Amino acid sequence: MKNPLNKRILKDIKGDISRYLILFLFLTAIIAVCSGYIVAASSLKTAYDKSFKEYNTEDGNFELFTTIDEDTTIEQVTTYENFYVEEKTDDIDSTLRIFKDREQVNKVCLLDGSMPQKDNEIALDRVYSKNNNVEIGDKIKIAGKEFEVCALVALPDYSALYSNNNDMMFDSIKFGIGVVTDKAFEDFGTQNIHYNYSYKYNNPPSEYGGKQEKEKAEDLAESLSGKTMLTEFIPRMANNAIIFSGDDLGRDQIFIIAMLIIITIIIAFVTAVTTTNAISKEANVIGTLRATGYSKGMLIWFYTIPTIIVVIVAAIIGNLLGYTYFYKLFVDTYLNSYSLTNYSIIFNANAFVKTTIIPILLILIINFIVLARMFSLSPLKFIRRDLTRHQRKKALKLNTKIPIMIRFRLRIILQNIPNYLTLFVGILFAGFIFCFGIGLKPLIYNVQSETIENMICNYQYVIKASCETQTEGAEKFCIGSLQTPEKNNFSESIGVYGVDENSKYIHTNLKDKIYISSAYSQKYGLDVGDKLTLNDKYDKTKKYEFKIDGIYEYPSTLAIFIDMNKYNEIFDKDKDYFNCYLSDNKITDIDENLIASVITKDDFTKTTRQLETSMGSLMSIFYILGVAVCALLTFLLSKVIIEKNSQSISMTKILGYKNSEINSVYINATTIVTIVSILVSLPIVGKLFVLMWKAMMTEYSGWISVNLPISVFVKTAIFEIVTFIIVSIFLMGKIKKVPMAQALKNVE
């Protein structure tokens, strides 16, 4: 015979529609967001992986001071000319790296329009064009020449727009890629040309990114340095312009899944609490059913199935929304940052398991454990409405001198400690999410202002060969880089600065001393007296050891500062060697062919500028999610407290208390707990933010110090309090609906 209780399932869902509707809406939203993210990231990652073969992406590239000599042979690889010129745009504050059309290696992916056929046409990178509001058909001036934009493209070797491989962050706003005809390229001349060569291994490694590719790259770098005037060598595995986007696609998946699991667990406990409250109200009926032969399993199933039905429906609709709408949001977020080739959406069984199966199982298991523990009580206890597992202890005695209404509130708080603890966890989690959403922008602005304030000078000119300048205030300088030892397949570049003994830009005495930047100190936890070991950039067998004598305030760059004479001695340079000028004034008397690069304020602020552009659309998601978590938990748990005390509320109405007075007891009790929870959680939120930020930054080159302004925490507190006030309005309506007759029910 079928269980007759099953006939009540839909009726019970309808009877508590507000709880189930909130559960449904919230789960649908979080599953839609998570499945949309996983589908978007995995689809783009699949297209990215396929692009290496489809567009014949290089195995690496190197740059020479001049073209390869005809007599020079490089046996390990096949090389391809990939020369480019860098020119300023006249109408936009940016620099374009301009190539000829590629036909053999790093082939161009045409996204829209048609490739240049005329000498006054140019194809631009899609992301650069979007960030600078340039469309097909627009005119753009480059070095005084006018070009018409004829196409939007993506280059597989510039999926992330890094102008310099050592930069902490790419810059898709002030740096872009252009492709022109051969004739148009030649018309730019050789003044700003870079003799860059792409290469493909004749005997490619069995797996890219592993030890074999690393060894091949090291052998090739050593061979090239002995045969050519090598100025830069970048194997694919170390080329941020190629690998950064691939590494980032899906990198946040662990965070998204962790967030889904945490929210699901919180929801599971909340639903378990609300279900046990429903069981408490029907305790004597349940006791009677148990006494007449209903098993524990039948009753556990009856009280679990409504939640499971709602969760399954939410999971189905959430996945449909994820695949049809939300994935577009995350695709657009990635495409706002990365110049990715064409893609197609792929069904992801992994996403279905993580966003559907796992939440259903978590809610089922947690509800089963809680209900199984509750139904382990004897039928007699249910009939007597005594659902305590142990003998009740005497209530905590409160001083009679405390006004009765205050004692009443304290008693309510003491009776609902488990519910309030759950509320505290929810407020902590919601505060963290919201703090991340509103804290990112002021954090970026704060770092940007710190960077500008601590700039060494207005201009750093890196030169290809020693030359003199008469520019007032220009100071000779040495600049190089070393690599950190590889850890977990991650290594990053550390700038090494050789400073003149009487430098007016580096305000410290470096005679026989070694300083590191504050950014380097913070990221790696280094302090005065510590020793560090760094590797040569191309020859990993060469190691350099330093002992830290001081920390120099320089928050924008991972760097070491040493005396110029010491620099030349360590790196086996001539006594008078230098390769850079520091200057507060623009240098105009050096041949531009001798200038390798110019580092200005724009270069130091590109990280913060790009982060704001890339993550702007994600901030609104964190706002909404924080509001939802806070509102959901506050409403459901406060509702449970009111329902548990409905008989007492009814009695107070009989005794003549007004609704406003009852609100002041029950709503104010929850208000006190909420405000205390907010105040206690904010310092914890701050510590969690710092820990999470440091964990994130370990996977990125460079460092952004975390220094959240106090206004972020004030805004978070205000947001949570306002959310609770709005919820309280609904709860007042709930108290108003409690009938006086409730006090006459279940009288023992």
Question: Cα–Cα distance between 632 and 576 in angstroms, integer?
Answer: 69
Token pair for 710: 């106090």
Cα-Cα end-to-end distance for the chain:
35
Q: Is 80 helix (H, G, I), strand (E, B) or coil?
A: strand
Our measurement of the distance from residue 194's CA atom to the centroid of its chain's CA atoms, rounded to an integer in Å, reads 35
CA 301 to each of CA 27, 137, 275: distance values in angstroms, whole numbers, following the listed order? 21, 65, 12
Model confidence pLDDT, tens digit, residues 80-100: 999 999 898 988 988 899 999
Cβ proximity of 344 and 56 under 8 Å = no
pLDDT at 393: 54
Question: Cα–Cα distance between 94 and 132 in angstroms, integer?
Answer: 9
pLDDT at 675: 87
pLDDT at 535: 85
Question: Cα–Cα distance between 251 and 21 in angstroms, integer?
Answer: 33
What DSSP character marks residue 456? S
Concatenated DSSP letters of 259-319: HHHHHHHHHHHHHHHHHHHHHHHTHHHHHHHHHTT--HHHHHHHHHHHHHHHHHHHHHHHH
Low-confidence ranges of the chain (pLDDT < 70): 1-6, 166-168, 250-252, 386-396, 398-400, 404, 488-490, 538-540, 593, 606-623, 625-626, 637, 699-701, 741-748
Q: Is 643 helix (H, G, I), strand (E, B) or coil?
A: helix
Concatenated DSSP letters of 678-729: HHHHHHHHHHHHHHHHHHHHTTSSS-------HHHHHHHHHHHHHHHHHHHH
Q: How many CA atoms lie less than 13 Å away from 435 in the CB half-sphere?
A: 30
Structural domain boundaries in the chain? 1-54+249-393, 60-248, 398-454+603-748, 459-599
Query: Quick one: three-class SS letters along 87-121?
Result: EEECCCCCEEEEEECCCCCCCCEEEEECCCCCCCE
